[in-house]
Structure 1
Amino acid sequence: MNLPFLGGLKLRARLTLSVALLSTFAILSVTMSGLSITRRTLGRQIDATLRAEAEGLKDLVERILAEREANVRSWSEDTILRGALLFDTFDKSDTVLEGLAKNHTSISGFVLFDEQGRAVSASSKELLKGYQGHEREVREMEWYRAALEGRFTADALGREKDPVFGKRVLPLAAPVKSPASGARIGVLLAAYDWSQVRDVVKASMQRAQERAQESFALEVRREDGTVLFNSRPPDVEPPAAPVSQEAINGTDVRDVGDGWRFVATLDAREAYAPLVEAALMALGMMGFFLALVIVGAWWLARGIARPISALSEAVTHVLEEGDLSHHVEVNSRDEVGELAHAFSRMMEQLRQTTVGLQQGTRVLTGAVAELSKAAEHQERNLSRQAAAIQETQVTAQEIQQTSKMAEERSRAVLQVTERAEEVGRLGEETLGASIEGLQELHEKVGRLAGTILMLGNRTQQIGEIAQTVKDLADQSNMLALNAAIEAVRSGEHGKGFGVVAREIRALADQSIESTDRVRELLDDIGKSIQDTVKMTEKGQQQMQGGLAQIKASGESLRELTSIVKDNAGAARQIAVAVSQQNAGITQIFTAVSDLSSLMEETMQGVQSTTRATSTLREAAERMESVARTYRA
């Protein structure tokens, strides 16, 4: 063991202290490991014991509560109790309830209520008087409402004594039903004496006393932590550091205690008292063994240190005098004696080595001088080669950058060419579609001109019809005039005919006026049609000229598209050539870079050789100085 605070001590003290520390550490480790294992084992045993006690209490209470609930249901079906509620024969029911109380000592008393909560029968007159006149309070009690719903509850169990029974009781109530109709006619209350739980835990407390566990206690708690039972006396303080285990009343067996927690507690100091006694005994034994170890270590260190002191004196003489002929005499056959014999052989070999070393240092000095000159010459040559390779690397890097720029520009030209080719193709397609649309428009304009001419002919026909209508109106006017003359001639008999003649004449005048207006309109329409025909013919001629120009532009665009395609092919070939050129230049640059790296490694190797030569020169000088120190 090499500890900093032991550096100033002699070997004897260091050996003694080291053995003592190692022994202390070993004994402490074994002791602490044993105590830790013992504590874990004892802890598991304590937890298992507490868990078993909690589980046992849980099973006992669960079984008792389940039996009492079954008994209450059975008692509520008694024929006499039903008859008492139906026919008011409460003397018989009192006798039955009194007998049940005598036969079941765990029940503090029985009370029979009707549906209004009125106490009608009980196992004792005191109980009957205690509940009479308190019908409202009875109907509001938890056990009574639970009985009306056909279930049991433990909500009425508290820490205080029941005012009627004078003790802590667990009210168990069941509905009494009519045997004929099955309707509820009353409630039977059986008050379980909660102090009976102490009799249940008596066996567990006896076992704890046999184990010398005076602080052992059992508790029954609700789900919310309310303590329903505690075996510890009220005047005894609970332990400050308890060890506890609990068992929870499940729902596999239905009873009013479902969800209750049964807790077994024990004071940790009392539980682990055997462990404390074992630790004290282990510490005492450890002190005794440690004293024996220190005495044995001192005796052993004394036997080892004496021969080593003799060897130390011999080494000091060699170092101070430089005399390698000194001998060490140690009369021992153990490892120290073997060390002394080995030291004598080492001195003999050191004498021989010193002679050889003095001869070899002279040869080594000459070889180192020649090696230094050769390394300096090689370093100068490699420096010139490295400078040339570095210039070549810079030139190759510039060529690589230029080639990369040319490759990027060729790719950009290729992209622009491909875009121009695409635009030309789209323009050619658009121009073809425009030519087709203009031709179709030309055809539609021709058909429109024909339709307008036909409309002019129809207008002339309408004019002729209007002229005919005008002629008919003139004739009608003449006939009306003649009819009026004849009516005047006829006198009174021709008055009606004269009225008709005037109306016909008025209609004829209106027809003439309308015909004149239609004639004027037809003349205007005819002039407009003629102007439209002229404009249509002129537009058709201009459209034909524009169509010819567009066709000529289409031919020019097709020629331009062909030229762009040729340029795109050439640009692709240029891009491929530039990419191949760039790849070749990249390979050249990589080769030059590798060559530069190899040259740097070679330079480093030469520099390392130079440094090694310098180091070797210094070592040769030190060896020569050391060889002159000793004499054989």
Structure 2
Amino acid sequence: MNNPFLGNLKLRSRLTLAVALLSALSLLSLTSLGLSFTRRTLSKQIHSTLKVEAEGLKDLVERTFAEREASVRSWSEDAILRGALLFDTYEKSDAVLAGLAKRHPSVRGFVLFDEKGRAVSASTEELLKSYQGKEREVRETAWYRAALEGRFTADSLSTEKDPIFGRRVLPLAAPVLSPLGGGRIGILLAAYDWSQVGSVVRAAVRRAHERAQSTFALEVRRADGTLLFDSRPPDAAPFDRPVSEVAINDTTEQDVGDGWHFVAKVDAVEAYAPVNQAATVAFGMLAFFVGLAIVGAWWLARGITRPIAALSETVTRVVQEGDLSQRVEVHSQDEVGDLARAFARMMEHVRESTLGLQQGTRVLTEAVAELSRASEVQEGNLARQASAIQETQVTAQEIQQTSQMAAERSQAVLEVAARADEVGSAGEAKVNASLEGLKELHAKVGRLASSIVSLGERTLQIGDIAQTVKDLADQSNMLALNAAIEAVRSGEHGKGFGVVAREIRSLADQSIDSTGRVREILDDIRQSIQTTVTMTEKGQAQMQAGLEQMRESGESLRELTSIVRDNAGAARQIAVAVNQQNAGISQIFTAVTDLSTLMDETMRSLQATTRATGTLREAAERMETVARTWRV
């Protein structure tokens, strides 16, 4: 590949540049390889350290959550809290919750709720008032629904401050179970102070600062990427190019942090600062050694090009003056000296060749002149013959195109007729199959209507059963009301019996509500069944009409198929006649084309001869000019 810039340089400059580039590329490759290895090693160390920190954060938070969940479950089993929910002794439960808040400063507050979501006791009076009248909001919270299912959740952890507790908290709630039957009688809420996570990661951040990683940070994110915790200050600048590792809390050990991502990250500029410093020093040394290589290359090129310059000067005089008697004078014993002696031998051969060339050019010029005159006469005769054959070929080509077009159109008509015959036969078969399918479908619709009528009768029977269940629930409600009245009359001894009466009455109310919903659903089903029966009867009538139309369409299609078969026979006869005509015209066109091809080949041969004659004439003139240039 020719380079315009290098083509203008002397050999000395080229050698100097080549040696300098080779040295620079070699040193640059070694330096880049070393820096790349160092960077990969440092990258592995950085990622390994970040991975360890992320896994450590995951384990710490997982253990912390496990301890908090176990603590909340044990607090919910307190006998005083259970008694307060059973016997309305909330003064004692307030004292217990206040004591728990003092002993566990990481929990911002405790709240005790009954089954309906009403706050009945809390660690502080202000906290209890904050939840008064918010039963509906409490029941719709994620932590309350999770507590009803006997599990914990972190869905209530928001990215903003909690309006009740005044800061970010993680609500952990557990069900309070009855000591008698084991049933759920309330919910205990413990609001864990989310800022305590900062104390958990403080040791890891301190270790990173000791490693001179001031931008090191730990984050906790949900699976959807929502940021839950960041060890950096809120006003810290974002990372330009972070290097990070992630540890995911799997579901091996169930806790509220399942699916969270624990991220350890550091800024890439700070992490790779040692490699960047080493690169600066390495490239400085590279520039120094490249300079030494340029000086050495210039000295070497100077010793090589000096004898070559002397040889070039001699050759220049020979070319400019055209005197082949010049002698090459280069006194060197290396490869350049061998080149000079070989050039001197070449000059002797050129002198001998030039003498023979001058004699041969005269003979060649005379022979070329005679050959040119003969070619001109023959070319005129062939040109007239070619013109006549070309006119005949054009006429034959037009006749062939017309015949071929007729053959193609007749073949297309034949194909369309065959296709129409196939489509008509297939359509007749499909109409017959459609008639059979519609008959089967008509029978199935009739059976479906009978099944729907039977289903409506069964729905009436289910309504009677639901009415019986409602009557039983009403009787149970009256019995529970009487039992509650007797419990009140019994005073202190009847409190336990009163609790049982309330439970029975609650169950009776639920049965009455459920029975009412069942009756409503049965009414809707009965109406839907009646509508379906009506639509089925209409569908049967429409299907019968469709069967009659399908039979009439089948008869029309059979008549159309018969007409298409007759047309196909006529089209075949036309196609045979046109094909025979096309075959004859093709033979005529082939003969004319062969004659035209033969004439073209003759013309090309003659033109090639003419061009060769012209080339010989030009070559003879150039040879004569060259022979006159040199003096021998």
Provide the TM-score with structure 2 as the length reference. 0.62
After the TM superposition, which of the residue ranges 251-260 and 354-363 deviates more from structure 2?
A: 251-260
The equivalent of 2:436 in structure 1 is none
The letter for the 2-side match of 1:186 is G
Q: 1:173-252 alignment to 2 at 5 Å?
A: 173-222=173-222, 227-234=227-234, 236-249=236-249
Q: 1:95-174 alignment to 2 at 5 Å?
A: 112=112, 117-118=118-119, 120=121, 127-136=123-132, 139=135, 140-141=137-138, 142=141, 143=143, 146-148=146-148, 150-154=150-154, 157=157, 169-174=169-174
The letter for the 1-side match of 2:132 is R
After the TM superposition, which of the residue ranges 601-610 and 373-382 deviates more from structure 2?
A: 373-382
Gapped regions of structure 1 (runs ≥ 5): 122-126, 416-567
Alignment partners' CA distance in 1, 2:291 and 2:73: 77
The equivalent of 1:322 in structure 2 is 322
C-alpha change, 1:131 and 1:346, in structure 2 (3 Å) is same
The equivalent of 2:262 in structure 1 is 262
The letter for the 1-side match of 2:205 is M
Secondary structure, in 3 states, of the residue corresponding to 2:188?
strand
After the TM superposition, which of the residue ranges 204-213 and 24-33 deviates more from structure 2?
A: 24-33
Q: 1:599-614 alignment to 2 at 5 Å?
A: 599-614=599-614
Q: How far is the alpha carbon of 1:273 from its aligned partner? A: 1.6
Q: How far is the alpha carbon of 1:174 from its aligned partner? A: 0.9
Contact 1:168/1:193, CA 8 A, preserved across alignment: yes
Contact 2:118/2:132, CA 8 A, preserved across alignment: yes
Secondary structure, in 3 states, of the residue corresponding to 2:298?
helix
The letter for the 1-side match of 2:176 is V
Alignment partners' CA distance in 1, 2:302 and 2:405: 89
C-alpha change, 1:587 and 1:38, in structure 2 (3 Å) is farther
Secondary structure, in 3 states, of the residue corresponding to 1:201?
helix
Are residues 1:345 and 2:341 paired?
A: no
The letter for the 2-side match of 1:621 is E
Q: 1:554-573 alignment to 2 at 5 Å?
A: none
Gapped regions of structure 2 (runs ≥ 5): 415-568
The equivalent of 2:552 in structure 1 is none
After the TM superposition, which of the residue ranges 306-315 and 198-207 deviates more from structure 2?
A: 198-207
Alignment partners' CA distance in 1, 2:50 and 2:405: 90
The equivalent of 2:332 in structure 1 is 332
The letter for the 2-side match of 1:76 is S
Q: 1:78-97 alignment to 2 at 5 Å?
A: 78-79=78-79, 81-83=81-83, 85-86=85-86
Alignment partners' CA distance in 1, 2:215 and 2:111: 40
The equivalent of 2:557 in structure 1 is none
Alignment partners' CA distance in 1, 2:130 and 2:46: 50
C-alpha change, 1:35 and 1:615, in structure 2 (3 Å) is farther
C-alpha change, 1:397 and 1:146, in structure 2 (3 Å) is closer
- Computing the radius of gyration from Cα coordinates, the structure with the larger value is 1
After the TM superposition, which of the residue ranges 376-385 and 278-287 deviates more from structure 2?
A: 376-385
The letter for the 2-side match of 1:271 is A
Q: How far is the alpha carbon of 1:146 from its aligned partner? A: 4.9
Provide the TM-score with structure 1 as the length reference. 0.62
Q: How far is the alpha carbon of 1:623 from its aligned partner? A: 0.9
Q: How far is the alpha carbon of 1:210 from its aligned partner? A: 4.7
Once the two structures are superposed, what CA deviation does each residue of 1:578-618 show, in whole Å capped at 9, x if it has no partner?
A: 96565344223212212212322321221122122112111
Alignment partners' CA distance in 2, 1:5 and 1:579: 70
Q: How far is the alpha carbon of 1:624 from its aligned partner? A: 1.7
Aligned pairs, how many?
466
C-alpha change, 1:393 and 1:258, in structure 2 (3 Å) is same
Q: How far is the alpha carbon of 1:11 from its aligned partner? A: 3.1
The equivalent of 2:488 in structure 1 is none
Alignment partners' CA distance in 1, 2:48 and 2:162: 37
The equivalent of 2:521 in structure 1 is none
Secondary structure, in 3 states, of the residue corresponding to 1:613?
helix
C-alpha change, 1:91 and 1:22, in structure 2 (3 Å) is same
C-alpha change, 1:195 and 1:5, in structure 2 (3 Å) is same
Contact 1:119/1:128, CA 8 A, preserved across alignment: no
The equivalent of 1:295 in structure 2 is 295
C-alpha change, 1:296 and 1:137, in structure 2 (3 Å) is farther
Alignment partners' CA distance in 2, 1:202 and 1:149: 35
Q: How far is the alpha carbon of 1:216 from its aligned partner? A: 0.5
Alignment partners' CA distance in 1, 2:109 and 2:16: 83
Q: 1:374-385 alignment to 2 at 5 Å?
A: 374-385=374-385
Alignment partners' CA distance in 2, 1:21 and 1:316: 32
The letter for the 1-side match of 2:613 is T
The equivalent of 2:460 in structure 1 is none
The letter for the 1-side match of 2:304 is I
